[in-house]
Structure 1
Amino acid sequence: MSETEEFKPYTILPGETVSLDKYKNEKDVIKIGPGLLHEKHQISAMKAGTLKNYNNQKWWIDSSQRRYVPSLNEHVIGKIIAKTQDYFRVDIGSAHSALLSTLAFEGATKRNKPNLEIGALVYARVSLANKDMEPELECISATTGKANGFGELKNGFLIKCSLGLCRSLLNPNTPILTALGEHFAFETAIGMNGRVWLNTADISNTILLSNAIKNSEFLSAKEIKQMVKELVKQSEDDMEL
């Protein structure tokens, strides 16, 4: 049995092939994400950026692109911009709006459809991503068929961030959310399309936390802890007033 090599992120250019076998164990199942294409038994880069991975299983190219390009099974936050009897049209920040079927919700039937108003926010999964077709969304899990957190996002506050920051926030050990969670109670939904939904019991804390998340992008873990410490003190001072 050959030993796996330790992976270190590196810069990659469009057209370069990527060999991932040397980084994975026999039981690892490789999933490729944005920027990578699996075709003719090889994986190649579709854009320039930094090749990254999570647990040697999920691989993607991290770049400074501003416009979101939908990728299959990614979680996104969208805004309803139009609706018909059978579909909602959703803005997800990509070149084209996405379609969300009124039946793509847990428990939805032809007689029992969700009644989402224009302007409502939804947390959804990309179920179709093809460069020649409009992207399609679903508000149910691909594995369980249940909502699993997908659906309308009520109340809360929407933050627009860079795509890179949103991807880093999906890491269970991300420093900023870990540090904030030690002092504040909040709900969050993270879309890989550069949008974060945040909800707290106090609007002042919502603004405080949203600014902290946006400001954390280029800070080290140590700097993030110091920033959160100062925010906690500021919050306590505001409560005393």
Structure 2
Amino acid sequence: MTTILPGEKVDAQHVNLKLGPGLLQISSNGPSKSAIIATRAGNLHHSANGSKWWIESNSRRYVPAPQESVIGVIVQRQGEGYRVDIGSAHSATLDGLAFESATKRNKPNLKVGCLVYARVSLAHKDMEPELECFDAQTRKAEGFGELKGGFVVKCSLKMCRDLLDPKHFLLPLLGGKFPLEAAVGMNGRVWVNAKEPKLIIAIARCIEVVDPDGGGMDLKALKTFLSTLDI
């Protein structure tokens, strides 16, 4: 893991190179046609085969990046689509046909205030981000779409990245105690649902105390904390 600062060049090379958050490919006048630079400070990461590169930083405001999953709130209907608040500097747009099997005659009728779990399909610094509610490869919903019921917990961007790691202890620990549903957005929002309101509250409290910006509890401390809750 390497710490990197804005403006530094990154030597990322791969036949199918994909750049994630914090990296930008720019044209160069030198011998090489383009260069990759960092646009934010943080830790440089790449996938095992070197095809995906990104920078992790615990920034406060979410900066959309293609292929990331987000939880948004419908704030306005416009024409055949919607404007969605995803916590970034600009609202995102969601086309009414960007859902599995949607047609002009058969598409979701979302109201202002509805929650959606979506994927960022387009993100560019000079354009509003665009969302889709289906998987790019299968064109199936794969969990994307309207989120009904439940509760949205706001947390740090790092906490969201941690929860998306299958090895993280929180969700498996809670799932072993009672059935639950969860959708993790990379934009600092986690949607949770369970059979009883007290269980939803317990999940939300656990996310808050494990969050590095909150209590930062580890597994042992969380088990002790859970024993104090009425679940």
Q: TM-score range by the shorter chain?
A: 0.7 to 0.9
Considering fraction of residues, name the structure with more helix: 1
Structure 2: how far apart are the matches of 1:59 and 1:207? 36
Structure 1: how far apart are the matches of 2:3 and 2:90? 29
The aligned residue for residue 47 of structure 1 is 40
Asked whether the 8 Å contact 2:155–2:211 carries over to 1, the reply is no
Correspondence 1:62 to 2:69: no
Matched residue type, 1:131:
K
The aligned residue for residue 30 of structure 2 is none
SS in 1 for 2:227: helix
Matched residue type, 2:42:
G
Q: Alpha-carbon deviation of 1:206?
A: 1.0
Counterpart mapping for 1:1-241 below 5 A: 9-20=1-12, 30-39=17-26, 40-55=33-48, 57=50, 58-218=52-212, 224-235=218-229, 238=230
TM-score (norm 1): 0.84
Q: Alpha-carbon deviation of 1:234?
A: 3.2
Structure 2: how far apart are the matches of 1:177 and 1:148? 19
Structure 2: how far apart are the matches of 1:59 and 1:178? 28
SS in 1 for 2:107: coil
Structure 2: how far apart are the matches of 1:191 and 1:47? 20
Asked whether the 8 Å contact 2:70–2:120 carries over to 1, the reply is yes
Q: Alpha-carbon deviation of 1:195?
A: 0.5
SS in 1 for 2:125: coil
Asked whether the 8 Å contact 2:210–2:222 carries over to 1, the reply is no
SS in 2 for 1:101: strand
Deviation string 1:104-158 (CA, Å, 9 cap, x unpaired) is 0111111112111110000001111111111110101111111111000000110
Where do 5+ consecutive residues of structure 1 fail to align?
1-8
CA RMSD of aligned residues (A): 2.3
Q: Alpha-carbon deviation of 1:29?
A: 5.7
Q: Alpha-carbon deviation of 1:216?
A: 1.0
Asked whether the 8 Å contact 1:176–1:224 carries over to 2, the reply is no
Structure 2: how far apart are the matches of 1:175 and 1:55? 23
TM-score (norm 2): 0.87
Q: Alpha-carbon deviation of 1:82?
A: 0.6
Q: Alpha-carbon deviation of 1:42?
A: 3.7
Worse-superposed segment, 35-44 or 66-75: 35-44
The aligned residue for residue 4 of structure 1 is none
Runs of 4 or more, structure 1, over 6 Å off, are none
Matched residue type, 1:13:
L
Where do 5+ consecutive residues of structure 2 fail to align?
27-32
Identity %, equivalent residues: 53
Structure 2: how far apart are the matches of 1:231 and 1:205? 14
Q: Alpha-carbon deviation of 1:54?
A: 5.0
Structure 1: how far apart are the matches of 2:199 and 2:19? 37
Structure 2: how far apart are the matches of 1:48 and 1:206? 35
Deviation string 1:64-87 (CA, Å, 9 cap, x unpaired) is 321111111111000000113401
Asked whether the 8 Å contact 2:183–2:191 carries over to 1, the reply is yes
Matched residue type, 1:92:
I
Asked whether the 8 Å contact 1:188–1:197 carries over to 2, the reply is yes
Instruction: Give the paired residue count.
Output: 222
Structure 1: how far apart are the matches of 2:178 and 2:82? 35
